[in-house]
Structure 1
């Protein structure tokens, strides 16, 4: 026979959950070891009370307990087994006793009573089987009901979570949207809908970041890039490069340099990153000595690039229009820096390459002419001014009139 948890708590089988909770609190306080000074009997009673509450306070466990308890009660009150392992009801046992002890009891009672007992045993066995089937059916029905309730609760919770995600998305709070959806994915990793929503948000962020970058809205571009950076783990060099440029345009030079150095650590031959660090030191911070090693290295890398692609005869083979603007920036930036540091001959050499890459850039010819003039090479300076005169005559008319005859 199993323990009567209702009796332990002093309750009836029809008690509500609130009554169960109240009875438990009252008894727990009464028998708690802290209140009874180590009394072993009280401690044991406390354990019984606690165990009873754990079962009865859980609807599913309580239902299973009630079914099991009813089964044991039925078995205990309706069956009897004699020494021949035959099962009888209690009423039959009493009648059998009266018959076998009466004076008119016939000698052939054994065969008759055994046949009757067998029939009654079969009937009771059938009742027992039906009862067990009923118990199993009720148990399964309770389980199905509880599972359905759980599924309903989960569905309601999921709907609420998706509404929260949608609300963040509508407000364009993409960081909160991704944070919420990642929490949902962590709890339900196999849910494809959650992953689909995440991919949609990431795609939208990429579109906005690229659009803002192309329109030179670097503040918004950086905002979107940084959200992507926090929620994605793998990035191409181009992504890192654009983040660095956004930092640069926002005058966050140290962060820009740190990001460019990350690119260099990954790809040491990325001459764009070397050049950009040089440009920040030179143009933005006026740190000329610190800028020069980066321009030097970027120039060496780009020359190596030409040699690998075109061979040693690269000066005669290169088609300038096929090259990215960064090639021009390297030579023109280094020329400007050399002039600032007084390295005029090196500046002239770099200007020659820059002019080759962009022959109609007036700034290059003017820079080169200025260096030639400072070196006293007036004829060479005039030749450079003449180049400018062909497409920007107003820029050099006065100088040519003064120095060139």
Structure 2
């Protein structure tokens, strides 16, 4: 019994690194949640909450920041400037020759690209914080109370410094989580912000059921739809199209190596959650513009456009679907280069059966990727439209929208995969140690 206990403690001790990484991630997420309650001085909290709720673009950013924007805390901008800068640098890296060369320089080029991303993050954070601070000074709450107590240069300066510093701290915290923890730190911060509102949404939904606003049957249907959509997202995110690749026969000395066969995996959803985020941001601009610039006769056309682009409306569904499909093809073309993949296969002596190496291989891969992107784009449209239609027609408090649900699923899958990779690496280390002991 003592020996079994010792073996168990030994196995537990081998997971010290994994345990430390998980504890570091938990501690960083706690810091993120505590910081989201530190307000920037000079803002009326009740008026700010009323302004953000139901404000379209601001409501989405508030969800990503875990409610920090509604409280106007130092983390109100969240990691949105960092994500925007990363996407811009990534797009420029596919167009500008100098940045293309940096991407091929390995670790040194990666560090330079990271530096450019940080500089872009600072610039975007300064611009966004200044715009928000100036616009908030003109806002008035529903009861007539101003959102900002004492407008002026002091409030703008405090807001710009506080919000920019908060964004830079979150960027640093996310990078530390990636290096010392498990998973992508920036993605985990967004995940924490989205999940932070889940308990309140569950309590609100159960309260509606107990008050009779939501029947028990409708509650079960909502629960079943949530599980079904989540399972469908997991299935589609794992789905791949594997292209068979054969390596030419090689001979070395007196040995002859036979043909080896492998697979080139291509994901159905290569663009991830970028298309829904871009599409949602563009469609929310009219509603946000109406709330910020007021409602008058001159802005009547803007009000009509905002009403037509409300979630669940026919025009919104059509425009949203077109934008998601367009962004899916656009972003996939940026992150995946069929010609570069074909050149890499040719250099390694690999070929696709029945396809000539070089340009013919690039054309074949591009055709396969185009069909996969079409299926992936339709999948994104379906996942994003179902929650919106439930909210519109059934008046269901469906908390997880399409974008947030995709983010949660992708982050959880990535985190689980990295934990499993750590566990497998520890198993290999133990096997190697046992083999060395037996040889000795």
Taking structure 2 as the reference length, what is the TM-score of the superposition?
A: 0.20
Instruction: Say which one has the larger Rg.
Output: 1
Higher strand share: 2
Of structures 1 and 2, the one scoring higher in RCO (CA 8 A, sep 6+) is 2
Higher helix share: 1
